[in-house]
A and B are shown apart, each in its own frame.
Chain A
Amino acid sequence: MWYLNAGTILSLLAMAALLSGLGLWKGAGVKLRPYAMLLLSVLFLAVYSGKLAVFAVLYAGLNFALYRIILGSAGAWRKPAFAGAVLANIAALLILRMFAGGLLTHAWFAPVILLGLVYTLLKVINSFFHAYYVAERAPKLSEYAAYLLFIPTFTSGPIMKLHDFLRDVRSEWRLDSGSLEWSVKRIIRGLFKKLVLVSLLMTVYERLLGGELDTAQSAAVLIVFYILLYFDFSGYSDIAIGFGRLMGIQVPENFKKPFSSPTLTQFWRNWHATLGDWFRDHVFQTFAPKAPSRTFSAFMAFFVMVLVGLWHGIHPLFILWGLYHGVLLALENVFKQTTVNKRKVSKLQFWARCAVVNALIAFGTIFFSADLETAERILKGLVTLP
């Protein structure tokens, strides 16, 4: 994994130090910033893998050309240009993922080029929406490529929007002592979660899975795995957010106390929040009428979760995961239970709802448990009384 390496952390610190130094250069610093950010990002990728760096640069250049085409097109050509660019990117990713085994064996390629691509795709599509709907303060090539290849968020988000990145990268910025302390603490917390807590929980998880599974043990496996996923991904996000701030970029929060969500709809606004925001802004709002009906919202909630499942990977377990959460979210919409205000219900009712939501999410992690065989074992264990 990207961050399980002391060299990576030291390189990111060096990158932050160089960008902070540039921030001291009044006037010229802000002009040179996107170039420096891009250069350091490409250098970082090149040290990791030359093929990945070349692919990432070409991918960014090609999509910048598509961005300019959408921006420059007018009249009847504008919509087809926008839709064509979005669909071409999705098709390219699908082809790469579905036929990776065959395509990537060619000497020019390597599986490593897929690193972070599902996240970069979402950023690319966001940029096309920017060109189509906003169409002002357009980025230069250096800014656009720096946005796509920004190292702290390159592999797994949080998913930044082009608009927000441009706002930060174009602002005069100096690293102050408050930001430095905040960032270092955030990075340490993230590393501690990702390396230490996840490793400890992994040991517990594997020991539990190694034995015979009955209801209690299967439930314990799911709870441990749920907490493990939280520490793993929120730890990663902490590191990305911390390094982002050290480099003057406000990376959005990904985890906003998800365990205290009283409905599943609220849970998905708090867990991997930037992914939920992305799908709301780019899928739901694209297709939604001005006043969407309850049936439409239920259908869209289902559709979006199936898409999110497929986005995680083209695998039966991810499709099942999408269907499971899609049905649950659709039911919440049908029964008007998408939001619960903490102030309008009793404490007992609120926390009972949170417990039910966490139980449903923990059960859903069964679809993330490596393979069909393991998922089947856990499922059988759940219905085997001790």
Chain B
Amino acid sequence: MGGRIIKKIAEVLVYLVMLLCVIAFFTGHGTFIYEGF
């Protein structure tokens, strides 16, 4: 049970980080990402 909750929390965090990177790109705060374009 505990393992499943930790796995779910880890999954949510990973998707949250991915989403933040995408939002950073959309809002122009992710210039470090598209350096080179």
Contact = CB atoms under 8 A, between A and B. Distances in A.
B36 A207 contact: yes
Contact of A195 (B15, B25, B36): B25
B13 interface: no
Interface residues of B, number: 14
Contacts of B35: 203
From DSSP, what is the main secondary structure of chain A's interface residues?
helix
Given A6-B26, A195-B25, A199-B25, A188 B37 contact: no
B10 to A, nearest CB: 14
Interface residues of A, number: 16
A188 B26 CA distance: 13
A167 interface: no
Contact of A202 (B22, B26, B27, B37): B37
A46 interface: no
9 contacts: A5-B26, A188-B18, A188-B19, A196-B30, A196-B33, A199-B34, A203-B34, A203-B36, A206-B36
Sorted nearest first, the 9 A-B pairs with minimum C-beta distance are A203-B36, A6-B26, A192-B18, A199-B34, A191-B22, A195-B25, A196-B21, A199-B33, A206-B36
Interface of A: 5-6, 9, 185, 188-189, 191-192, 195-196, 199-200, 202-203, 206-207
Interface of B: 15, 18-19, 21-22, 25-27, 30, 33-37
